[in-house]
Amino acid sequence: MSRLKNKFALITGGTSGIGLETARQFVLEGATVAVTGRSASALQAVRHELGGAVLAIQSDAGDSVGQQALARQLAGVWPRLDVLFVNAGDVTHHSIEDWDEAAWDQLMQINLKGPFFLIQALLPLLANPSSVILCGSVSARIGLAQSSAYAASKAGLLSLARTLSGEFVGRGIRVNGLSPGPTETAALDKLGLPAAEQQALRERIRQLVPIGRMGTPWELAKAAVYLASDESAYVVGTELLVDGGVGNL
Read off the pLDDT of residues 89-128 as tens digits, 9 standing for 90 and up: 999 989 999 999 999 999 999 999 999 999 999 999 999 9
Yes or no: is domain 8-242 CATH 3.40.50.720?
Answer: yes
What does the pLDDT read at residue 213?
A: 87
What are the pLDDT digits (tens) for 132-187?
999 999 999 999 888 999 999 999 999 999 999 999 999 999 999 999 999 988 76
Half-sphere exposure of 37 (CA within 13 A, CB side): 22
Within 13 Å, how many C-alpha atoms sit on residue 62's CB side? Answer: 14
Ranges of each domain in the chain:
8-242
Q: What is the pLDDT of residues 38-48, one digit of tens each?
A: 999 999 999 99
**Dihedral Cα 68, 71, 76, 81, nearest 10 deg:** -160
pLDDT of residue 204: 77
Catalytic residues: 150
pTM here is 0.94
Mean pLDDT, the chain, integer? 94
